[in-house]
Structure 1
Amino acid sequence: MTDLDVPVSHAVVPSRREGLRLLAVTGPRWARSVADVAAALTVLSLVALAFVDGVAVAVFALVLLALVVARLVAASAPLQAVTGAVLLLVAWAAVLSGYERVPWLDVVAHVGATGVLAAVAVVGMTRARLVQVPAGPRGTVGLVMVTVAAGLALAVLWELGEWYGHTYVDDGVGVGYDDTVGDLAAGGAGSVLAGLVLGRGAGRERSTALRGPSR
């Protein structure tokens, strides 16, 4: 059984303890700690900015939603840790006008954020048996393609959100042809990297399963 190949559980109404267990992170201690700290900082940021900046509240609410989804789909602890750290940094960079001060930071943000979100989406789809990942190189290629497709879809939604924010919320939100195409390209690049990482991890786990437990 690999991190991307798990059985589907039967639909039952979870108890309160089971519900809390769904939000628990399992894995290496360092990854669990980073994931929990990132989640806590996201909640604190949301509360701290609640009466200061409505746009910032919306940004951190989306970050919190992504972290909850990552826990519900039981993404690996390292993936949850990276997702929390990347999204938290991206959100604070937006709040502190980092993208206006450092133009190239926007490209980095789109590469990192789209990559981790695409990875979480693909893990969720494999958990739900919406995507089957066969063994071998063809399976790895397919996994990369699915991750890129998910990432590009998320990148399009991101750009639609920026357009909506610029048009109806704050015209300071950067939009434009060059910005949109550049962001989509950066998101696609991040999705390729995420797909390669997922493919390598799935291949390593299959190899370990075939060798059997070490003695």
Structure 2
Amino acid sequence: MIRAMYANLKRPPRSVTDWLADVVRAVAIVIVIVSLFTLPFTDFAVLSMSLPAVMLSRMIGLRSGLDLVTCVTVFVAAGSNVIDLYRAWTGWDLIVHAVCTGVLAAVALVLLDDARVIEPTGRRRTPIVVATMAGLALSAVWEMIEWFGYRFITDAIFVTYDDTIGDMIAGGAGALLLGVVASRFRLTRADRAAL
């Protein structure tokens, strides 16, 4: 599994979309490093939480378009917190929760598929159920992290019951939509190294 992830990571980009995804990855890494020295620690921590997903999307061999969308979405989600877009733009929080949870559900589906926990994606109904469950689980974990940050780190984090439930509904809806897509199309590249 580690060898396959390494092989996918070192695979040279073959399309414009591959190059764009790698540029977003590189920019994300540079911004996180710079933020360590220029931003409050909490902002650095939020930005750095995006890096595993940004790297994992390439390591598991997501299709190039999905890889790019994952990188952009996850980093925009983290950056929106740092520049306070969630408070500035009404509804932005729900949009980001839906899209971000959807792409993270795609990553979860591929990992579960490779571990042979579920059937392969594409032309099956299993991904609809599994993606939705994974999205709801990821949403719940995220909301617990938000609550922990609010309770023990800073009260600047916005946490209310309505916000929590709304975020989880949006995340579940995004994951459900991704599950429908995954039930009809492969999420991974044809030339990826199998995990």
Q: Structure 1 length normalisation: TM-score?
A: 0.79
> Which secondary structure does the structure 2 equivalent of 1:170 belong to?
coil
Provide, for residues 147-206 of structure 1, a one-character-per-residue CA deviation record: whole Å limited to 9, x for no partner.
001111100011011001111111111111100100000001100111111122149x9x
Higher-Rg structure is 1
The match for 2:21 is: 35
C-alpha separation in 2, matches of 1:85 and 1:150: 20
Q: Does the 8 Å CA contact 1:114/1:191 hold for their aligned counterparts?
A: yes
Amino acid paired to 2:55: V
Identify which of structures 1 and 2 has the higher relative contact order when contacts are C-alpha pairs closer than 8 Å and 6+ apart: 2
Of 115, 127, 131, the match for 2:114: 127
Amino acid paired to 1:46: V
Runs (4+) of structure 1 exceeding 6 A deviation are none
Q: Does the 8 Å CA contact 2:9/2:58 hold for their aligned counterparts?
A: yes
C-alpha separation in 2, matches of 1:78 and 1:96: 26
- Report the Cα offset of residue 134 of structure 1: 8.2
Q: Structure 2 length normalisation: TM-score?
A: 0.87
The match for 2:52 is: 65
Amino acid paired to 1:193: L
> Which secondary structure does the structure 1 equivalent of 2:30 belong to?
helix
User: 1:80 and 2:64 equivalent?
Assistant: no
Between Structure 1 and Structure 2, how many residues are aligned? 187
Provide, for residues 46-67 of structure 1, a one-character-per-residue CA deviation record: whole Å limited to 9, x for no partner.
0111022211211222111112
What percent of counterpart residues are identical? 31
The match for 1:189 is: 173
Gaps of 5+ in 2: 190-195
Amino acid paired to 2:60: V
User: 1:170 and 2:157 equivalent?
Assistant: no
Greater mean deviation of Cα atoms: 93-102 or 52-61: 52-61
**Given the superposition, is the C-alpha separation of residues 100 and 84 from structure 1 closer, same or farther in structure 2, using an over 3 Å criterion?**
same
C-alpha RMSD of the superposition = 2.4
Amino acid paired to 2:72: A
Q: Does the 8 Å CA contact 1:144/1:195 hold for their aligned counterparts?
A: yes
C-alpha separation in 1, matches of 2:11 and 2:78: 22
Gaps of 5+ in 1: 1-8, 206-215
